[in-house]
Copies of this chain bind each other. A is one copy, B any other.
Amino acid sequence: MGDGVTAARRSPGRPRRADAERRILDAAIDEYLERGASGFTIDGVARRAGVGKSTVYLRWPDRDTLLVDSVLARSRAIEDVDTGSLRGDLVALSVNMLRFLLDPVGFATLRLTVEAVASGSTREVTTGVADRHRRAAGLVLARAAERGEPVNPGTQARVVECLYGAITMKALAHGLETDATSEATIVAACVELVDLLLPLLLEHVRPPPDPAR
Q: How many copies does the complex hold?
A: 2
* Complex alpha-carbon distance, A107 and B158, angstroms: 22
| Contact across chains for A158 and B166 when beta carbons are under 8 A apart | yes
Residues of B within 8 A of A199 (CB): 199-200, 205, 207-208
Contact check: which of B118, B120, B147, B155 meets A196 at CB < 8 Å? B155
Contact check: which of B115, B159, B165 meets A167 at CB < 8 Å? B165
Q: Does A5 contact B (CB under 8 A)?
A: no
Stretch at the interface among A12-20, A61-69, A70-78, A168-176: A168-176
Chain A residues close to B by CB (< 8 Å): 84-88, 104, 107-108, 110-111, 113-115, 117-118, 120, 123, 130, 147, 149-150, 155, 158-159, 161-173, 175-176, 192-193, 195-200, 202, 204-205, 207-208, 210-213
* Complex alpha-carbon distance, A130 and B104, angstroms: 22
| Contact across chains for A175 and B210 when beta carbons are under 8 A apart | no
| Contact across chains for A207 and B198 when beta carbons are under 8 A apart | yes
Residues of B within 8 A of A115 (CB): 111
Query: With A111-B115, A162-B197, A164-B165 in contact, is A87–B120 under 8 Å at CB?
Result: no
